[in-house]
Amino acid sequence: MNTTIEKRHDYNFFDKLTSETKYLFESYGNEIEVKKGSFIFHESEKPEHIYLLKSGKVRLSKTSVEGKVFFLQMKNSHELLGELSLFNGLNYHFNAEVIHDSVLLRYNRLEIEQLLMRNSELSVNFMKWLSNENHTLLAQFRDLIFCGKEGAVHSILIRLCNEYGMDVSTGTLINKKITNQELANYVGATRESINRILKRLINENVISVNTKYITIHNKEYLKKQLRCNYCPFKECTI
C-alpha cells in the first residue's frame, strides 16, 4: 500500500505543538515586522537567526552566478525560515524575500538548538516537518530534472492550481495573476521558452490565459504527463 504525505499547509512545525509548548517556543523569539519587497536574509550570509512566520508570505529563491533568479518555495504562516542551518551552522542556502507584509518571530540559532535538545516534543515535530519539507523540494527537483522544462511548467501549473485554484464552469481558475517571467523563475527557463510551452498548451485546449489569469481546462492531462499517480503527496503546492 502506498503511503501518502500531507500537504505542506496541512503539516507545519508550529501547529502540531501543544499549547504549552507553543507558548514556550514563542517565548524565545522577538517579534519583528518586515515590509513587502524586503529581504529577511540572503543566501551565503552567516546564520545567526532562524525565524517563525506568524503572518504574511515569504518566497525562497536562489540566484545563479549569471544573476538568474530561481524561485523555490513560498513560506506561509507558522512555517520556519533558516532552519537548514540548525546544528550545522552552514550559511543560509536561499534568499528570503517578503512577498506580503509579514510579522515574524526572530530566534537566536544557538538558543533554539539548545531548546530542541532539551524538549522532545519540539525536536520530534521539527524532524517530521523537516522531512516533509525535504520531500517537497525533492518532488519539485524531480519534475524539473526528469520531466524537462515542459514537465516543470506542468508541475508549477498544478501546484498553482492546488494553491490558488477556484472551480469555474470551464475547469479551475488560478486566482492569482502570474506573469510568464514568474513562471520562468520557478522552472529555471527563459521567458521565451515559457511562451512556447504555454502557447502549445493553449492550442491543445489544456489551459487558457486571460489578463495573466490562467484557467486549467484539463488538469488530468498535466498530471498524466508527470505521472502524478506515483507521487507520495496528496496534493502538491508552491
Residue 172's contacts (CB-CB under 8 Å, 6 or more residues apart) are 161, 165, 166, 215, 216, 219
Residue 20 lies in a domain: yes
| Listed range (26-35, 138-147, 212-221) with the worst mean pLDDT | 138-147
Q: What is the pLDDT of residue 11?
A: 59
Residue 5 lies in a domain: no
> Tell me: the pLDDT tens digits for 146-177?
778 888 899 899 989 888 899 999 999 999 99
> Is this prediction's pTM over 0.85?
no
Same domain, 217 and 111: no
Host domain of residue 211: 149-230
Same domain, 111 and 218: no
Instruction: Among 119, 138, 157, identify where a domain stops.
Output: 138
Please state, rounded to an integer, the average pLDDT across all residues of the chain: 88
Residue 86 lies in a domain: yes
Same domain, 154 and 218: yes
Same domain, 124 and 21: yes
**CA distance linking residue 145 with residue 152, whole number of Å:** 8
Report phi then psi at 225, rounded to 5. -65, -30
Q: Quick check: 91 pLDDT over 50?
A: yes
Instruction: Among 114, 138, 162, identify where a domain stops.
Output: 138
Split into its structural domains, the chain has a count of 2
Average pLDDT over residues 83-101: 94
**CA distance linking residue 134 with residue 11, whole number of Å:** 13
Residue 144 lies in a domain: no
Quickly state the pLDDT bin for 231 (edges 50, 70, 90): low
> Tell me: the pLDDT tens digits for 180-225?
999 999 888 889 999 999 999 999 999 999 988 999 999 999 988 8
Q: Do 234 and 4 touch, CB atoms closer than 8 A?
A: yes
Q: Quick check: 103 pLDDT over 90?
A: yes
